[in-house]
């Protein structure tokens, strides 16, 4: 079978170990690997071969989900470099970021309680996406040249990205709920 369960996700997909990846190459290699190890191809195989195919398909899916997402990819790169994450101990003292957090939380709360129009929520979602994109660019520059020199600083960026990701999910859930009410 094709997938080495002990290889890194970068090796699995034939990509250089880098924050910047070729998304088209990742997608293409994902489809190729899934075609090779898809469990349906092993219906008449032994139990061991079916189990191995399932393990490989799972590993390929996990790798794909990790590498296609900049937040997961950045975290994975740090972990490959030996950095150990402890989500409870990674916080920020960045006053600008803390103020931005408060402003966005208040804005989202105002949309919830005031029943603001979808256009206001859409604008908030766009702002969150812009903040996430800016942090992604900052993280990419940290990883330029391969490894990250300051893992602590990169972890701080990832923590901020996690906040924006969660807030973005909450905003999209609110958007769906409002659309359901209007329907």
CATH number of 9-68: 1.10.287.110
Task: For the chain, give every domain's residue range.
Answer: 9-68, 95-182
Per the model's pLDDT, the better-predicted residue between 5 and 81 turns out to be 81
Q: What's the mean pLDDT when you consider all of the chain?
A: 87
Give the pLDDT band of residue 20 (cuts 50, 70, 90).
very high
Q: What does R_g of the chain's alpha carbons equal in angstroms?
A: 20
- Kindly tell me if the per-residue pLDDT of 129 is higher than 80: yes
Instruction: State the pTM of this model.
Output: 0.85
pLDDT in tens, 28-77: 999 999 999 887 888 888 888 888 888 999 999 999 999 999 999 999 99
pLDDT in tens, 80-120: 988 887 766 556 778 899 898 899 999 888 888 876 677 88
The answer to whether domain 95-182 has CATH 1.20.120.80 is: no
Q: Per-residue DSSP letters for 9-61?
A: HHHHTT--SSSS--HHHHHHHHHHHHHHH-GGGGTTS-HHHHHHHHHHHHHHH
- Compute the distance between CA of residue 112 and CA of residue 181 in angstroms, rounded to an integer: 13
- Kindly tell me if the per-residue pLDDT of 1 is higher than 60: no
Q: Per-residue DSSP letters for 70-82?
A: HHHHHHHHHHHTT
């Amino acid at each position: 079978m094709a997938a080495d369960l002990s290889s890194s996700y970068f090796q699995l997909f034939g990509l250089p170990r880098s924050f910047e990846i070729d998304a088209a190459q990742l997608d293409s290699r994902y489809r190729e690997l899934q075609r090779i190890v898809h469990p349906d191809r092993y219906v008449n195989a032994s139990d061991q071969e079916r189990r191995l195919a399932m393990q490989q398909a799972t590993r390929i899916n996990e790798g794909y989900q990790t590498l296609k997402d900049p937040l997961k990819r950045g975290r994975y790169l740090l972990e490959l470099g030996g950095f150990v994450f402890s989500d409870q101990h990674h916080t920020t003292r960045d006053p600008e970021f803390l103020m931005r957090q408060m402003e966005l939380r208040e804005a989202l709360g105002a949309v919830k309680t005031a029943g603001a129009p979808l256009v206001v929520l859409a604008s908030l979602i766009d702002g969150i996406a812009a903040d996430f994109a800016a942090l992604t660019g900052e993280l990419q520059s940290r990883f330029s040249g391969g490894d990250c020199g300051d893992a602590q600083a990169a972890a701080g960026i990832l923590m901020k990205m996690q906040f924006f990701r969660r807030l973005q999910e909450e905003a999209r859930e609110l958007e769906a709920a409002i659309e359901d009410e209007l329907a």
